[in-house]
């Protein structure tokens, strides 16, 4: 199941675990990323908490946790090479895997078509 948030994140949800990243639109708006800070595995977040930080040459931006859950894995590749987020934001440059506290809450998130309309 692929879902989106109004904060420009995507979630690919399999068996109650969401792989989370930022959308192509968001990556384009942020510009060249030079630094990524990811949460620690095992930490828990509520929906809307700042879970990660991305920095472009110009500015820092928060990446919000899209739903309640626990971080079970993070993608060290984007910490080592932040430009991966610009080149493949919806593929190899995922940010973290989130074990959802309430998987059914994902139903309320945006479908791809609705997200595309939002950023059109």
Partner 1 sequence: MEDNPHLKHTPLHALHLSLGARMVPFAGYDMPVQYPEGVMKEHQHTRVAAGLFDVSHMGQVIVRPKSGKIEDAALALEKLVPVDVLGLGEGRQRYAIFTNAEGGILDDLMIANRGDHLFLVVNAACKDADFEHLKKGLADTCEVTMLDDRALIALQGPHAEAVLGELWADVSAMRFMDVAEADLHDVTCIISRSGYTGEDGFEISIPLESAVDVTQRLLEHPDVKPIGLGARDSLRLEAGLCLYGNDIDTTTTPVEAALEWAMQKARRAGGAREGGFPGADRILGQFAGGASRRRVGLKPEGRAPVRGGANLFADAEGKTPVGQVTSGGFGPSVDGPVAMGYVDSGHTENGTTLFAEVRGKYLPVAVAALPFVKQTYKR
Q: Which residues bind partner 1 (CB under 8 A)?
A: 31-32, 34-35, 37, 53, 55-60
CB of 31 to partner 1, least distance (A): 5
CB of 13 to partner 1, least distance (A): 28
Identity of the residue, 53 or 90, whose beta carbon is nearer to partner 1 in the bound complex: 53
CB of 41 to partner 1, least distance (A): 18
Contact 106, 19 (CB under 8 A): no
Find where tokens 């609705």 sit: 114
Find where tokens 């998130």 sit: 109
CB of 59 to partner 1, least distance (A): 8
Question: 3-class SS at 3?
Answer: strand
Q: Between the CA of residue 53 and those of 38, 42, 108, 117, what are the distances in Å?
A: 7, 17, 25, 26
Identity of the residue, 37 or 88, whose beta carbon is nearer to partner 1 in the bound complex: 37
Identity of the residue, 27 or 109, whose beta carbon is nearer to partner 1 in the bound complex: 27
Token output for 108: 């309320």
């Amino acid at each position: 199941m692929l879902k989106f948030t109004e904060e420009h994140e995507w979630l690919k949800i399999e068996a109650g675990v969401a792989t989370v990243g930022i959308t192509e639109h968001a990556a384009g708006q942020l510009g060249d990323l030079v630094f990524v800070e990811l949460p620690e595995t095992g930490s828990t977040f509520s929906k809307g908490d700042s879970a990660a930080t991305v920095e472009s040459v110009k500015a820092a931006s928060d990446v919000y946790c899209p739903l309640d859950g626990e971080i079970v894995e993070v993608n060290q590749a984007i910490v080592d090479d932040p430009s991966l987020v610009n080149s493949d934001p919806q593929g190899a440059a995922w940010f973290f895997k989130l074990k959802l506290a309430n998987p059914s809450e994902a139903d309320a998130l945006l479908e791809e078509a609705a997200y595309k309309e939002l950023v059109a």
